[in-house]
Amino acid sequence: MTIKTLKIEIEEYESSKALPEKEHMLLEKAVEAVNKSYAPYSEFHVGAAVLLENGEVISAGNQENAAYPSGLCAERVALFYAKSQYPDVKVKSIAITARSDNFSIEGPLPPCGACRQVIAETEKRQNAPIDILMAGEKGPVHKVAGIESLLPFTFYEEKLKKKNR
Ligand code: THU
């Protein structure tokens, strides 16, 4: 038996203002995108902003539904929209934040597992990592340079290769 240890690198910034200018601006877009959230059930309003290689910024809020599982996280709304509108343009980074009157969101908001999986496949498809910026209503901002730090041992499409084909 051997024990393997993984090292994860996270950049921590004191606040959004401490980020490099471009990243600060992207996070601001995510903050604005909280207003696009439709979350009457959870009252947990998430905003995500995706920066594409062509300079375009796609932003989205989480979209809920009375049939709860029918809703979708802000990150996936933004990433799926980006892929639909700009199928051949790479995603460079994604900024995520949230606001709520009922919950205190003090630390950086990490993407949920399903969104991590979608970020992973986006990276794989474009063969380039995606910077992920995570912020709460207050407190520090975290940045990771690629999904590997948030989702090691990823399930990729090559696991779906059929036998004898
Ligand atoms: N949510 C997101 O939009 N992104 C995440 O990464 C975590 C959760 C949404 C889903 C649901 O609408 C609400 O936040 C509460 O879970």
**Residue 109 CA, distance from chain mean position:** 9
Nearest protein CA to atom 10 of ligand 1, as residue: 73
CA pair distance 71, 141, nearest whole angstrom: 26
What's the whole-model pTM score? 0.96
Contacts of residue 119, Cβ cutoff 8 Å, sequence gap at least 6:
75, 79, 94, 111, 130, 132, 147, 150, 151
- Cα of 163 vs centre of ligand 1, distance in Å, is 37
d(CA 132, ligand 1 centre) in Å? 16
Domain range summary for the chain, segments of one domain joined by +: 11-156
* Residue whose structure tokens are 């809920």: 64
Dihedral of alpha carbons 138, 141, 146, 151, sign: negative
Within 6 A (CB) of ligand 1 lie 39, 42, 44, 46, 62, 64, 71, 73-75, 111-112, 115
Ligand 1 atom closest to the Cα of residue 62 is 3
pLDDT tens across the length of the chain (165 residues): 999 999 999 999 999 999 999 999 999 999 999 999 999 999 999 999 999 999 999 999 999 999 999 999 999 999 999 999 999 999 999 999 999 999 999 999 999 999 999 999 999 999 999 999 999 999 999 999 999 999 999 999 988 988 876
Instruction: Please tell me the CATH superfamily of domain 11-156, with its number.
Output: Cytidine Deaminase, domain 2 (3.40.140.10)
Closest atom, ligand 1, to C-alpha of 74: 3
* Rounded (10°) angle between helices 113-126 and 74-85: 20
Query: CA 99 from chain center: how many Å?
Result: 15
Residue in the block written with tokens 């471009």:
22
